[in-house]
Amino acid sequence: MSRAADIAPQNPAEALVLKTLRLTWPFYFVGALYVVGPVLAWVLGGLAALSLYLGKAIRPDLRPRGTIPPVVWAWIAGMAVMLVALWVGHVDWGLGLKQTIKSSIGWAKGWALLALFPFVGAVLPIRREILVRGQCIIGLWTLALLPILVAAPYAGLPEKIFTSPLKAVGGPGPEYFSVYFFTWDPASWTPRWQFYAPWSPFAALLGVVQVCFALEEKNIRWRSIGLAAGAAMILFSKSRMGLVGLVACTVGPRLLPLILRGWAWKALAAATASLAVIGAALAQAAKDAVATFKGARADSTRVRETLQRIAGERWRNEAFWFGHGTVHPGPHLVEYMPIGSHHTWWGLLFVKGLVGMLALLVPLVWQTLIALVDATRSKRGHLPLGIVMTMILLSFGENIEIEAYMLWPGLMILGIHAAEVAQDSRQRTATGKMLPCAAN
Protein backbone atom coordinates (compact mmCIF):
# COMPACT_ATOMS: atom_id res chain seq x y z
CA MET A 1 0.00 0.00 0.00
CA SER A 2 2.77 2.43 0.88
CA ARG A 3 4.26 2.03 -2.62
CA ALA A 4 1.02 2.68 -4.48
CA ALA A 5 1.10 5.90 -6.48
CA ASP A 6 4.15 6.99 -4.47
CA ILE A 7 4.87 10.71 -4.22
CA ALA A 8 8.59 11.41 -4.05
CA PRO A 9 9.97 14.57 -2.41
CA GLN A 10 11.61 16.93 -4.89
CA ASN A 11 13.78 18.90 -2.45
CA PRO A 12 15.16 18.66 1.12
CA ALA A 13 12.28 20.70 2.55
CA GLU A 14 9.67 18.29 1.15
CA ALA A 15 11.74 15.32 2.33
CA LEU A 16 11.87 16.69 5.88
CA VAL A 17 8.14 17.43 5.91
CA LEU A 18 7.15 14.00 4.58
CA LYS A 19 9.55 12.19 6.91
CA THR A 20 8.16 14.07 9.92
CA LEU A 21 4.58 13.19 8.99
CA ARG A 22 5.47 9.54 8.44
CA LEU A 23 7.07 9.40 11.89
CA THR A 24 4.17 11.07 13.74
CA TRP A 25 3.15 7.92 15.59
CA PRO A 26 6.75 6.81 16.37
CA PHE A 27 7.44 10.30 17.71
CA TYR A 28 4.32 9.96 19.86
CA PHE A 29 5.51 6.58 21.18
CA VAL A 30 8.54 8.30 22.71
CA GLY A 31 6.64 11.42 23.84
CA ALA A 32 8.48 13.68 21.41
CA LEU A 33 5.71 15.34 19.40
CA TYR A 34 5.69 18.51 21.48
CA VAL A 35 9.41 18.89 20.82
CA VAL A 36 9.31 17.97 17.12
CA GLY A 37 6.73 20.62 16.12
CA PRO A 38 8.64 23.71 17.32
CA VAL A 39 12.00 22.33 16.13
CA LEU A 40 10.54 21.73 12.66
CA ALA A 41 9.04 25.23 12.62
CA TRP A 42 12.28 27.01 13.45
CA VAL A 43 14.44 24.81 11.18
CA LEU A 44 12.16 25.29 8.18
CA GLY A 45 11.62 28.94 9.08
CA GLY A 46 15.38 29.49 9.04
CA LEU A 47 15.62 27.68 5.70
CA ALA A 48 12.84 29.85 4.28
CA ALA A 49 14.57 33.02 5.47
CA LEU A 50 17.84 31.80 3.94
CA SER A 51 16.04 31.04 0.69
CA LEU A 52 14.66 34.58 0.54
CA TYR A 53 18.03 36.09 1.40
CA LEU A 54 20.02 34.11 -1.19
CA GLY A 55 17.37 34.18 -3.90
CA LYS A 56 18.78 32.71 -7.12
CA ALA A 57 22.07 31.96 -5.39
CA ILE A 58 20.52 29.03 -3.51
CA ARG A 59 20.09 25.62 -5.15
CA PRO A 60 17.24 25.70 -7.71
CA ASP A 61 14.94 23.29 -5.87
CA LEU A 62 14.89 25.54 -2.78
CA ARG A 63 14.35 28.90 -4.42
CA PRO A 64 11.41 30.87 -2.97
CA ARG A 65 8.00 30.89 -4.63
CA GLY A 66 7.99 34.69 -4.59
CA THR A 67 7.65 37.52 -2.13
CA ILE A 68 5.92 37.03 1.21
CA PRO A 69 2.11 37.46 0.79
CA PRO A 70 0.50 40.30 2.79
CA VAL A 71 -1.59 37.95 4.92
CA VAL A 72 1.55 36.06 5.97
CA TRP A 73 3.10 39.39 6.96
CA ALA A 74 -0.04 39.89 9.07
CA TRP A 75 0.59 36.56 10.83
CA ILE A 76 4.22 37.52 11.46
CA ALA A 77 3.26 40.97 12.78
CA GLY A 78 0.42 39.56 14.90
CA MET A 79 2.59 36.97 16.61
CA ALA A 80 5.31 39.60 17.21
CA VAL A 81 2.67 41.76 18.91
CA MET A 82 1.82 38.70 21.03
CA LEU A 83 5.38 38.65 22.32
CA VAL A 84 5.33 42.38 23.09
CA ALA A 85 1.99 42.01 24.91
CA LEU A 86 3.48 39.15 26.91
CA TRP A 87 6.44 41.29 27.98
CA VAL A 88 4.24 44.26 28.90
CA GLY A 89 1.92 42.02 30.93
CA HIS A 90 4.85 40.53 32.83
CA VAL A 91 6.22 43.99 33.60
CA ASP A 92 2.80 45.30 34.69
CA TRP A 93 2.30 42.43 37.12
CA GLY A 94 5.91 42.21 38.31
CA LEU A 95 6.35 38.58 37.31
CA GLY A 96 10.14 38.82 37.23
CA LEU A 97 12.86 38.06 34.70
CA LYS A 98 12.84 34.29 35.23
CA GLN A 99 9.11 34.00 34.51
CA THR A 100 9.43 36.38 31.53
CA ILE A 101 12.16 34.24 29.96
CA LYS A 102 10.13 31.07 30.58
CA SER A 103 7.02 32.61 29.02
CA SER A 104 9.03 33.89 26.03
CA ILE A 105 10.29 30.35 25.40
CA GLY A 106 6.65 29.23 25.59
CA TRP A 107 5.81 31.85 22.95
CA ALA A 108 8.56 30.42 20.71
CA LYS A 109 6.99 26.96 21.05
CA GLY A 110 3.39 28.15 20.64
CA TRP A 111 2.27 31.46 19.18
CA ALA A 112 5.38 31.77 17.01
CA LEU A 113 4.37 28.60 15.14
CA LEU A 114 1.21 30.33 13.88
CA ALA A 115 3.49 32.67 11.92
CA LEU A 116 6.40 30.36 11.11
CA PHE A 117 4.49 27.59 9.35
CA PRO A 118 2.46 29.90 7.05
CA PHE A 119 5.75 31.69 6.31
CA VAL A 120 7.38 28.36 5.42
CA GLY A 121 4.46 27.31 3.22
CA ALA A 122 4.42 30.65 1.42
CA VAL A 123 8.16 30.71 0.69
CA LEU A 124 9.55 27.19 0.32
CA PRO A 125 8.53 25.09 -2.72
CA ILE A 126 6.60 22.48 -0.75
CA ARG A 127 3.73 20.93 -2.68
CA ARG A 128 0.26 20.34 -1.29
CA GLU A 129 0.47 16.73 -2.44
CA ILE A 130 3.31 16.03 -0.01
CA LEU A 131 1.27 17.24 2.96
CA VAL A 132 -1.88 15.43 1.81
CA ARG A 133 -0.08 12.11 1.34
CA GLY A 134 1.75 12.54 4.64
CA GLN A 135 -1.57 12.96 6.48
CA CYS A 136 -2.91 9.80 4.82
CA ILE A 137 0.19 7.91 5.96
CA ILE A 138 -0.61 9.01 9.52
CA GLY A 139 -4.08 7.60 8.86
CA LEU A 140 -2.59 4.24 7.89
CA TRP A 141 -0.73 4.12 11.21
CA THR A 142 -3.94 5.05 13.03
CA LEU A 143 -6.01 2.29 11.41
CA ALA A 144 -3.28 -0.28 12.04
CA LEU A 145 -3.15 0.60 15.75
CA LEU A 146 -6.88 1.08 16.21
CA PRO A 147 -7.69 -2.57 17.19
CA ILE A 148 -5.06 -2.46 19.95
CA LEU A 149 -6.26 0.89 21.27
CA VAL A 150 -9.92 -0.14 21.25
CA ALA A 151 -9.21 -3.48 22.96
CA ALA A 152 -6.98 -1.95 25.66
CA PRO A 153 -9.64 -0.93 28.24
CA TYR A 154 -11.44 -4.28 27.91
CA ALA A 155 -8.19 -6.24 28.17
CA GLY A 156 -7.34 -4.58 31.49
CA LEU A 157 -4.45 -2.54 30.12
CA PRO A 158 -3.56 0.73 31.91
CA GLU A 159 -4.64 4.14 30.64
CA LYS A 160 -1.19 5.69 30.51
CA ILE A 161 1.81 3.73 29.30
CA PHE A 162 4.51 6.16 30.43
CA THR A 163 5.60 9.81 30.53
CA SER A 164 8.68 10.63 28.48
CA PRO A 165 11.81 12.11 30.10
CA LEU A 166 11.54 14.78 27.40
CA LYS A 167 9.12 16.58 29.72
CA ALA A 168 12.28 18.12 31.17
CA VAL A 169 12.34 20.55 28.22
CA GLY A 170 9.20 22.15 29.68
CA GLY A 171 5.68 22.48 28.36
CA PRO A 172 2.06 23.11 29.31
CA GLY A 173 1.83 19.84 31.23
CA PRO A 174 2.98 16.19 31.47
CA GLU A 175 0.15 15.02 29.23
CA TYR A 176 2.01 16.52 26.26
CA PHE A 177 4.83 14.04 26.83
CA SER A 178 2.73 11.04 27.89
CA VAL A 179 1.72 7.99 25.86
CA TYR A 180 -1.80 6.62 26.39
CA PHE A 181 -3.84 3.63 25.34
CA PHE A 182 -7.05 5.45 26.34
CA THR A 183 -8.54 7.52 29.16
CA TRP A 184 -11.61 7.04 31.34
CA ASP A 185 -14.31 9.69 31.04
CA PRO A 186 -14.99 10.77 34.66
CA ALA A 187 -18.58 11.76 33.83
CA SER A 188 -19.73 8.41 32.40
CA TRP A 189 -16.79 6.19 33.38
CA THR A 190 -16.51 4.90 29.83
CA PRO A 191 -13.30 4.83 27.76
CA ARG A 192 -12.33 7.63 25.37
CA TRP A 193 -9.42 7.56 22.99
CA GLN A 194 -7.04 10.42 22.28
CA PHE A 195 -4.76 8.73 19.75
CA TYR A 196 -1.60 10.87 19.39
CA ALA A 197 -3.12 14.02 20.91
CA PRO A 198 -2.78 15.10 24.57
CA TRP A 199 -6.55 14.70 25.13
CA SER A 200 -9.67 13.46 23.36
CA PRO A 201 -11.40 16.69 22.17
CA PHE A 202 -8.19 17.79 20.47
CA ALA A 203 -7.88 14.34 18.86
CA ALA A 204 -11.35 14.85 17.39
CA LEU A 205 -10.34 18.14 15.77
CA LEU A 206 -7.18 16.48 14.44
CA GLY A 207 -9.55 13.90 12.97
CA VAL A 208 -11.44 16.70 11.23
CA VAL A 209 -8.14 17.99 9.80
CA GLN A 210 -7.35 14.42 8.70
CA VAL A 211 -10.63 14.21 6.79
CA CYS A 212 -10.10 17.64 5.19
CA PHE A 213 -6.69 16.55 3.91
CA ALA A 214 -7.89 13.11 2.79
CA LEU A 215 -10.61 14.66 0.63
CA GLU A 216 -7.79 16.24 -1.44
CA GLU A 217 -5.98 12.93 -2.03
CA LYS A 218 -6.14 11.80 -5.67
CA ASN A 219 -5.31 8.14 -5.04
CA ILE A 220 -8.55 6.43 -4.02
CA ARG A 221 -6.88 3.89 -1.73
CA TRP A 222 -4.96 6.51 0.21
CA ARG A 223 -8.06 8.72 0.26
CA SER A 224 -10.14 5.90 1.75
CA ILE A 225 -7.49 5.27 4.41
CA GLY A 226 -7.37 8.94 5.36
CA LEU A 227 -11.13 9.31 5.54
CA ALA A 228 -11.56 6.14 7.61
CA ALA A 229 -8.83 7.18 10.05
CA GLY A 230 -10.22 10.70 10.46
CA ALA A 231 -13.74 9.37 11.08
CA ALA A 232 -12.40 6.88 13.63
CA MET A 233 -10.57 9.63 15.53
CA ILE A 234 -13.72 11.74 15.68
CA LEU A 235 -16.02 8.90 16.75
CA PHE A 236 -13.75 7.21 19.30
CA SER A 237 -12.76 10.49 20.93
CA LYS A 238 -16.46 11.00 21.72
CA SER A 239 -16.18 14.75 21.22
CA ARG A 240 -19.21 16.88 20.41
CA MET A 241 -17.04 19.50 18.76
CA GLY A 242 -15.52 16.89 16.47
CA LEU A 243 -18.94 15.83 15.18
CA VAL A 244 -19.82 19.43 14.41
CA GLY A 245 -16.50 19.94 12.64
CA LEU A 246 -16.86 16.77 10.58
CA VAL A 247 -19.92 18.24 8.90
CA ALA A 248 -19.22 21.99 8.93
CA CYS A 249 -15.53 21.96 7.96
CA THR A 250 -15.85 19.43 5.13
CA VAL A 251 -19.27 20.06 3.60
CA GLY A 252 -19.34 23.84 4.13
CA PRO A 253 -16.43 24.76 1.82
CA ARG A 254 -17.83 22.56 -0.94
CA LEU A 255 -21.25 24.22 -0.82
CA LEU A 256 -19.87 27.74 -1.24
CA PRO A 257 -19.71 27.66 -5.09
CA LEU A 258 -23.51 27.31 -5.08
CA ILE A 259 -23.86 30.97 -4.08
CA LEU A 260 -22.70 31.94 -7.56
CA ARG A 261 -25.50 29.99 -9.23
CA GLY A 262 -28.90 31.49 -9.94
CA TRP A 263 -30.96 28.48 -8.92
CA ALA A 264 -29.33 28.49 -5.47
CA TRP A 265 -30.51 32.06 -4.87
CA LYS A 266 -34.05 31.10 -5.92
CA ALA A 267 -34.00 28.15 -3.55
CA LEU A 268 -32.73 30.38 -0.76
CA ALA A 269 -35.51 32.89 -1.43
CA ALA A 270 -38.10 30.10 -1.27
CA ALA A 271 -36.62 28.76 1.96
CA THR A 272 -36.61 32.24 3.50
CA ALA A 273 -40.27 32.74 2.60
CA SER A 274 -41.19 29.40 4.16
CA LEU A 275 -39.74 30.55 7.50
CA ALA A 276 -42.91 32.58 8.02
CA VAL A 277 -44.72 29.25 8.42
CA ILE A 278 -42.17 26.97 10.05
CA GLY A 279 -39.75 29.53 11.54
CA ALA A 280 -41.00 29.17 15.12
CA ALA A 281 -40.77 25.38 15.00
CA LEU A 282 -37.24 25.54 13.57
CA ALA A 283 -36.15 28.02 16.24
CA GLN A 284 -37.44 25.74 19.00
CA ALA A 285 -35.78 22.73 17.39
CA ALA A 286 -32.50 24.64 17.28
CA LYS A 287 -32.81 25.54 20.97
CA ASP A 288 -33.52 21.91 21.84
CA ALA A 289 -30.51 20.78 19.79
CA VAL A 290 -28.21 23.24 21.57
CA ALA A 291 -29.53 22.13 24.96
CA THR A 292 -28.98 18.47 24.03
CA PHE A 293 -25.48 19.29 22.75
CA LYS A 294 -24.54 20.98 26.03
CA GLY A 295 -26.27 18.36 28.13
CA ALA A 296 -24.30 15.55 26.53
CA ARG A 297 -21.39 16.55 28.78
CA ALA A 298 -23.04 18.87 31.28
CA ASP A 299 -20.14 18.99 33.76
CA SER A 300 -17.66 19.93 31.05
CA THR A 301 -19.99 22.64 29.74
CA ARG A 302 -20.48 24.08 33.25
CA VAL A 303 -16.73 24.25 33.95
CA ARG A 304 -15.98 25.88 30.59
CA GLU A 305 -18.72 28.48 30.93
CA THR A 306 -17.62 29.36 34.45
CA LEU A 307 -13.99 29.69 33.38
CA GLN A 308 -15.01 32.03 30.58
CA ARG A 309 -17.14 34.17 32.91
CA ILE A 310 -14.32 34.52 35.46
CA ALA A 311 -11.78 35.29 32.73
CA GLY A 312 -14.05 37.96 31.23
CA GLU A 313 -14.79 39.67 34.54
CA ARG A 314 -11.14 39.76 35.64
CA TRP A 315 -9.96 40.96 32.21
CA ARG A 316 -12.41 43.89 32.20
CA ASN A 317 -11.74 44.88 35.79
CA GLU A 318 -8.00 44.22 36.18
CA ALA A 319 -6.01 44.12 32.92
CA PHE A 320 -7.92 45.46 29.91
CA TRP A 321 -5.13 46.24 27.42
CA PHE A 322 -2.28 43.78 28.04
CA GLY A 323 -3.78 41.13 30.31
CA HIS A 324 -2.35 39.34 33.32
CA GLY A 325 0.75 37.98 31.56
CA THR A 326 0.01 34.35 32.44
CA VAL A 327 -2.85 32.01 33.39
CA HIS A 328 -3.92 31.91 37.04
CA PRO A 329 -5.04 28.92 39.11
CA GLY A 330 -8.81 28.55 39.18
CA PRO A 331 -10.99 27.94 42.27
CA HIS A 332 -12.67 24.69 43.31
CA LEU A 333 -15.78 25.84 41.40
CA VAL A 334 -13.95 25.11 38.12
CA GLU A 335 -12.14 22.03 39.44
CA TYR A 336 -8.94 24.10 39.77
CA MET A 337 -8.63 24.50 36.00
CA PRO A 338 -6.42 27.52 35.12
CA ILE A 339 -8.24 30.77 34.39
CA GLY A 340 -7.43 31.61 30.78
CA SER A 341 -7.55 28.00 29.57
CA HIS A 342 -10.12 26.05 27.52
CA HIS A 343 -10.96 28.99 25.25
CA THR A 344 -8.57 30.84 22.95
CA TRP A 345 -10.41 34.18 22.92
CA TRP A 346 -11.22 34.50 26.61
CA GLY A 347 -7.78 33.12 27.35
CA LEU A 348 -6.16 35.78 25.19
CA LEU A 349 -8.17 38.54 26.83
CA PHE A 350 -7.21 37.30 30.29
CA VAL A 351 -3.51 36.65 29.57
CA LYS A 352 -2.66 39.25 26.88
CA GLY A 353 -5.60 41.65 26.96
CA LEU A 354 -7.36 43.32 24.05
CA VAL A 355 -4.04 43.87 22.25
CA GLY A 356 -3.28 40.14 22.25
CA MET A 357 -6.78 39.21 21.13
CA LEU A 358 -6.60 41.58 18.13
CA ALA A 359 -3.14 40.22 17.26
CA LEU A 360 -4.77 36.85 16.50
CA LEU A 361 -8.14 38.09 15.27
CA VAL A 362 -6.83 40.29 12.43
CA PRO A 363 -4.69 37.68 10.58
CA LEU A 364 -7.21 34.90 11.21
CA VAL A 365 -10.11 36.92 9.78
CA TRP A 366 -7.95 38.00 6.83
CA GLN A 367 -6.91 34.41 6.10
CA THR A 368 -10.52 33.25 6.41
CA LEU A 369 -11.76 35.87 3.93
CA ILE A 370 -9.10 34.86 1.40
CA ALA A 371 -10.10 31.21 1.74
CA LEU A 372 -13.82 32.04 1.55
CA VAL A 373 -13.46 34.02 -1.66
CA ASP A 374 -11.23 31.42 -3.30
CA ALA A 375 -13.47 28.52 -2.24
CA THR A 376 -16.40 30.10 -4.09
CA ARG A 377 -14.30 30.27 -7.28
CA SER A 378 -12.35 27.00 -7.32
CA LYS A 379 -11.65 23.74 -5.53
CA ARG A 380 -8.26 25.14 -4.54
CA GLY A 381 -9.86 27.01 -1.65
CA HIS A 382 -11.67 24.01 -0.12
CA LEU A 383 -8.80 22.66 1.97
CA PRO A 384 -7.55 26.02 3.34
CA LEU A 385 -11.11 27.03 4.20
CA GLY A 386 -11.65 23.71 5.96
CA ILE A 387 -8.45 24.31 7.93
CA VAL A 388 -9.33 27.84 9.06
CA MET A 389 -12.86 26.69 9.97
CA THR A 390 -11.36 23.92 12.09
CA MET A 391 -9.02 26.41 13.75
CA ILE A 392 -11.93 28.73 14.53
CA LEU A 393 -13.96 25.85 15.94
CA LEU A 394 -10.96 24.71 17.98
CA SER A 395 -10.44 28.21 19.34
CA PHE A 396 -13.83 28.12 21.11
CA GLY A 397 -12.99 25.02 23.12
CA GLU A 398 -9.20 24.93 23.38
CA ASN A 399 -6.14 27.18 23.58
CA ILE A 400 -4.96 27.09 20.00
CA GLU A 401 -1.40 28.24 20.67
CA ILE A 402 -0.45 25.22 22.79
CA GLU A 403 -1.80 22.92 20.06
CA ALA A 404 -0.12 24.60 17.09
CA TYR A 405 2.64 21.97 17.26
CA MET A 406 0.10 19.44 15.91
CA LEU A 407 -1.69 21.77 13.49
CA TRP A 408 1.44 22.54 11.48
CA PRO A 409 0.44 20.74 8.23
CA GLY A 410 -2.73 22.85 8.10
CA LEU A 411 -0.83 26.04 8.92
CA MET A 412 1.61 25.26 6.12
CA ILE A 413 -1.32 24.81 3.72
CA LEU A 414 -2.51 28.32 4.64
CA GLY A 415 0.86 29.71 3.60
CA ILE A 416 0.88 27.72 0.35
CA HIS A 417 -2.62 28.94 -0.46
CA ALA A 418 -1.71 32.56 0.33
CA ALA A 419 1.23 32.29 -2.07
CA GLU A 420 -1.02 30.81 -4.79
CA VAL A 421 -3.58 33.61 -4.41
CA ALA A 422 -0.84 36.27 -4.37
CA GLN A 423 0.68 34.80 -7.53
CA ASP A 424 -2.72 34.95 -9.27
CA SER A 425 -3.04 38.59 -8.24
CA ARG A 426 0.40 39.41 -9.64
CA GLN A 427 -0.44 37.68 -12.90
CA ARG A 428 -3.70 39.61 -13.26
CA THR A 429 -1.86 42.86 -12.56
CA ALA A 430 0.82 42.02 -15.13
CA THR A 431 -1.84 41.11 -17.72
CA GLY A 432 -3.70 44.36 -17.06
CA LYS A 433 -0.52 46.36 -17.61
CA MET A 434 0.25 44.54 -20.83
CA LEU A 435 -3.15 45.06 -22.42
CA PRO A 436 -2.81 48.87 -23.01
CA CYS A 437 0.66 48.28 -24.49
CA ALA A 438 -0.74 45.69 -26.86
CA ALA A 439 -3.48 48.06 -27.95
CA ASN A 440 -0.92 50.73 -28.77
pLDDT digits (tens, 9 = 90+) for 37-55: 999 999 999 999 999 999 8
Report whether pLDDT(407) > 60.
yes
* 93 confidence band (pLDDT: 50, 70, 90): confident
DSSP state letters, 111-175 = TTHHHHHHHHHHHS---HHHHHHHHHHHHHHHHHHHHHHHHGGGTT--SEEEE-GGGGG--S-GG
Q: Where are the beta strands (DSSP E) in 275-410?
A: none
Mean pLDDT of the region 112-124:
97
Query: pLDDT tens digits, residue range 178-218?
Result: 999 999 887 778 899 999 999 899 999 999 999 999 999 99
Residue from 36, 26, 179, 44 nearest 119 by CA: 44
Look at the chain and count its residues: 440
Q: Which residues pair with 184 in a beta bridge?
A: 191
Report whether pLDDT(318) > 70.
yes
Report whether pLDDT(2) > 50.
no
- What does the mean pLDDT of the chain come to? 86
Mean pLDDT of the region 127-138:
96
Report whether pLDDT(111) > 90.
yes
* 289 confidence band (pLDDT: 50, 70, 90): very low
Mean pLDDT of the region 408-413:
96
* pLDDT reported for residue 424: 86
* pLDDT reported for residue 440: 42
DSSP state letters, 60-93 = GGG--SSSPPHHHHHHHHHHHHHHHHHHHHHHHT
Write out the H or E segment, with its range, that includes residue 178: strand 178-180
Mean pLDDT of the region 82-91:
93
Say how far apart CA 100 and CA 108 lie, in whole Å. 12
* 252 confidence band (pLDDT: 50, 70, 90): confident
Mean pLDDT of the region 356-377:
94
* 299 confidence band (pLDDT: 50, 70, 90): low
Mean pLDDT of the region 325-349:
76
* pLDDT reported for residue 293: 42
Sign of CA dihedral 229, 186, 27, 48: positive
The 3-state DSSP class for residue 299 equals: helix
Say how far apart CA 369 and CA 323 lie, in whole Å. 28
What are the Cα distances from residue 252, in Å, to 114, 243, 282, 372, 389?
24, 14, 20, 10, 9
Report whether pLDDT(80) > 60.
yes
Residue 327's CB is within 10 A of a number of other CB atoms, namely 17
The 3-state DSSP class for residue 270 equals: helix
Residue from 204, 188, 215, 56 nearest 128 by CA: 215
* 439 confidence band (pLDDT: 50, 70, 90): very low
* pLDDT reported for residue 426: 81
Mean pLDDT of the region 244-249:
90
- Helical axes 382-395 vs 408-439, angle rounded to 10°: 140
* 436 confidence band (pLDDT: 50, 70, 90): low
* pLDDT reported for residue 278: 57
Choice between 310 and 417, residue whose per-residue pLDDT is larger = 417
pTM, two decimals, is 0.88
* pLDDT reported for residue 173: 83
- Residue 72 CB-half CA count within 13 A: 27
